[in-house]
């Protein structure tokens, strides 16, 4: 079984992100009062996603190089809270 062209996956994920963003913009536009009430929660969620996404990608590689990387990551996370 051959792997599809990488351009296919880039296009697929870009179109998926476009769809999710369009739905989010539409729902906020439709419910602007509700969105203003929960703005702080949305910002915290977005910050968490921006911080956790690269870490999810990097952590397996770090754990291959050093078995203590997972414990170090948990300790760093715990010290920030």
Tens digits of per-residue pLDDT, 52-81? 888 888 888 888 898 888 888 888 878 876
Q: Which whole-number Å values give the CA distances from 36 to 25, 26, 42, 48, in the listed order?
A: 13, 14, 10, 19
pTM above 0.75, yes or no: no
68 three-state secondary structure: coil
Q: Give backbone dihedrals phi and psi of 35, rounded to 5 degrees, phi first.
A: -65, -40
Structure confidence at residue 19 (pLDDT): 92
Q: Do 70 and 59 form a contact (C-beta atoms < 8 A)?
A: yes
Least confident of 2-6, 8-12, 15-19, 61-65: 2-6
C-alpha 40 chain-centroid distance: 17
């Amino acid at each position: 079984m051959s792997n599809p062209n990488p351009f296919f996956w880039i296009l697929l994920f870009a179109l998926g992100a476009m769809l999710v963003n369009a739905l989010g913009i539409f729902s906020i536009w439709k419910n602007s009062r509700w969105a203003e009430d929960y703005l702080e929660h949305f910002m915290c969620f977005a910050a968490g996603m921006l911080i956790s996404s690269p870490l999810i990608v990097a952590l397996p590689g770090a754990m291959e190089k050093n078995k203590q990387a997972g414990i170090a990551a948990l300790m760093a996370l715990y010290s920030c809270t």
